[in-house]
Structure 1
């Protein structure tokens, strides 16, 4: 569960809400979420090897095993 207070949900202030949360790095990381009809973009700090091609931690886009496999499978 994530709690967002009124000040955090006001976009016009131009501020960022910092939260600390645990993520399961074996699962795909999400870049955004929606709640109560509003979309919020997520940025991960301290995780420098995130691949947003497959959503996994441990490599970047150019070294993505999924991307490399897809390239090998193409004729």
Structure 2
């Protein structure tokens, strides 16, 4: 059986709900939403009228951008 590269690319991205984002970032709800509003934190994706989630890749990119280089 051959693997289909297009099928792998079409795999939906994992979405993280608020508790998982809080755990990964060590930020609390108010800081996450304030950062999203200010443009310094990834925007959530609306799942329904009352539910949002964040793309796992957006959180990983944000974390990578926050890491400092060297011993500072």
Greater RCO structure (CA 8 Å; 6+ sep): 2
TM over 0.5: no
State the TM-score, normalized to the length of structure 1.
0.24
**Greater share of residues in helix:** 2
Q: TM-score, normalised by structure 2?
A: 0.24
